[in-house]
Chains A and B, each alone.
Chain A
Amino acid sequence: MNLSEETLSKIDELIPRYPEKRSAALMVIHLVQEELGAVDLEASEWIAEKLEIQPINIRELITFYPMLRETAWGEKHVRVCRTLPCALRGSYATCKKFEEKLGVKEGHVSEDGKYSIEFMECLADCGEGPVVMVGDQTFENIDEKDADKMADLILKNKLDDSKKFISYEKAVDSVKPSKA
């Protein structure tokens, strides 16, 4: 197990927040997964030891929760919302467009490990559907045409500089709090 000092210290800071160590399981798994991309058997055993529980107690979480992974997603992971409100505004076409452009089917990782797509359940932003997440950023109203342009930017690794596609998170952050 090779975890950075930073992750290790975050884990050590996290565990005592809880009345019982086992409660920290999801948070520790998230930290490990953020660094390693996935939580394999060895990592599960390490986490279990850290939390003084059995490896199966970690494995059963990873196999249950949709966002926990035994194998890593691609370097660029695209999530498209599938659920009804987004579908009513065209998310199936959005997802197809990403599949076509990134050359990988939803639920899969491209052979070179660069891209992956996940057709997800409701991302809780239904008023601005179709909703798409790239990494940890949320993009709203991404119809088929936008998906086409966005995929180009992802392929060129230029989405972060885009003036057209500004994520929900960045937009919220850019609003300065008014002095009441």
Chain B
Amino acid sequence: MKWKFLDRKSGKPIYLICNADESEPGTFKDRQIIHKDPHQLIEGMMISAFAIQAKQAFIYIRAEFFEGAKILERAILEAKEKGFCGDNILGSGYSCDLVVHRGAGAYICGEETGLIESLEGKRPNPRIKPPYFPAVLGLYQCPTIVNNVETLCNVKHIMEMGGENFSKIGKPNNTGTRIWCVSGQVKNPGYFEFECGALTLGEMIHDVCGGLLPGRSLQAVIPGGSSAKVLRADERFQGTLKDGTDFDWGIEDIPLDFDGPMAAGTMSGSGGIVIMDDTVDIVEAMANVNAFYAHESCGQCTPCREGSLWMKKITSRMCSGDAREEDADLLLSVANQIEGRTICAFGEAAAWPTQSFVTKFRKDFLAKAKSQKRKKDSMQLI
């Protein structure tokens, strides 16, 4: 865990922040925890706050969770009444206040340094690392830990079970459980908690989610929130895993843990799995994703601000009857000029979808230039 980077010797107050901004497309697990079991989060947070001796803790929640914020406020009051947070917690002499802070609809507030700026009452422009690692120079330039809702809930279970028992869940290097969020074109989408590596992508689609819609076949999967690189249904993935075993997978063989999607050249990211069947017009799907990133760039870095906008403009034009054969390469060149040239990882998040869609579905981008039409039976996506 990144707590070990925390600067405990600075003498400055330490802060704990729960990242409940949940805005990566395809992700909807924090919503469930906040609405259905807020005390689990509060307990995890207070244990964490005590562990790092935080002076104060915050929950940064996206503003669209109107009711979620109220539920958390109520739950905090209940916890205070029982002495679980606030002053002199359970008579230990340790005090820590927990404050709910609402965002205001900007995706970039999920990036931890953007979140910190936002919590300071500013625009959420991410800070450059180094030097602004939150664990050293975070909120008010004080050491700060930012963790996701699911992570902080895990802390409660780690304490309850003991670290050793917790690490027995899952597989070596892929420990614990994860909540996978499945959306898109399957019969029964939803959120499902499993031990890491307990099942493959294929088992998730067919056994857990009831399979694809009648008569459809799989075309593509985005495995870890819309920023993760897309996987094509007929790809083969070969190589050697960290533990030395060789693998040769089709898309449905990819294990749902941390290393599996990584070995397949993508990431499990936020755990948001988006399923696209054979009806989907891939260029429109790309245009939809690009519109998201163009809308959400904070605008600080020129490659990200301009690049995300141009990728959106090009793909939208392609979907409005003016697709050109050279567009595929143009898109790649724009995406390649964003990656690695920006302040925060949003640059990569915006570039990876385009790079992977265009490379893996090049034929669809070229076909668009010939037909100019939406693929038959596809939903309108832009």
Contacts and interface: CB of A to CB of B under 8 A. Distances in A.
B352 interface: no
Most buried by B among A17, A85, A125, A128: A85
A89 B120 CA distance: 38
B123 interface: yes
Given A88-B280, A124-B22, A169 B381 contact: no
B44 interface: no
Given A20-B140, A85-B184, A133-B64, A26 B381 contact: no
Interface string A87-103: 11110110000000000
A85 B26 contact: yes
Contact of A30 (B28, B63, B65, B379): B63
A86 B379 CA distance: 11
Contact of A65 (B24, B106, B119, B381): B106
Contacts of A26: 101-104, 118, 121
Interface stretch (A56-64, A104-112, A145-153, A154-162): A56-64
Nearest to B188: A127
Interface string A10-44: 00000001111011111101100000000000000
Contacts of A175: 36
B104 A92 contact: no
Given A27-B101, A66-B106, A68-B104, A87 B121 contact: no
A83 B292 contact: yes
Nearest to B182: A127
A83 B121 contact: no
A22 B116 CA distance: 13
A132 B63 CA distance: 15
Contacts of B124: 64
B231 to A, nearest CB: 15
Contacts of B111: none
A91 B64 CA distance: 18
B25 A122 contact: yes
A20 B121 CA distance: 9
A58 to B, nearest CB: 9
Contacts of A57: 121-122
B162 interface: no
Interface residues of A, number: 51
B277 to A, nearest CB: 9
Contacts of B276: 88
Contacts of B382: 87, 92
Contacts of B104: 26, 29-30, 61, 65-68
Interface in B6-35: 13, 22-28, 30-31, 35
B106 A20 contact: no
B66 A136 contact: yes
A126 B99 contact: no
Given A127-B182, A127-B183, A67 B292 contact: no
A88 B121 contact: no
Contacts of A120: 64, 105
Given A26-B118, A121-B292, A126 B181 contact: yes
A123 interface: yes
Nearest to B27: A124
Nearest to A136: B66
Interface of B: 13, 22-28, 30-31, 35-36, 56, 62-67, 97, 99, 101-107, 118-124, 140, 181-185, 189-191, 222, 226, 272, 274, 276, 280, 285, 288-289, 291-292, 295-296, 379-382
10 contacts: A19-B13, A30-B102, A51-B121, A57-B121, A66-B104, A92-B382, A93-B379, A125-B28, A127-B181, A127-B182
Which 6 residue pairs are nearest across A and B when measured between Cβ atoms? A67-B105, A65-B104, A136-B66, A25-B121, A85-B183, A22-B121
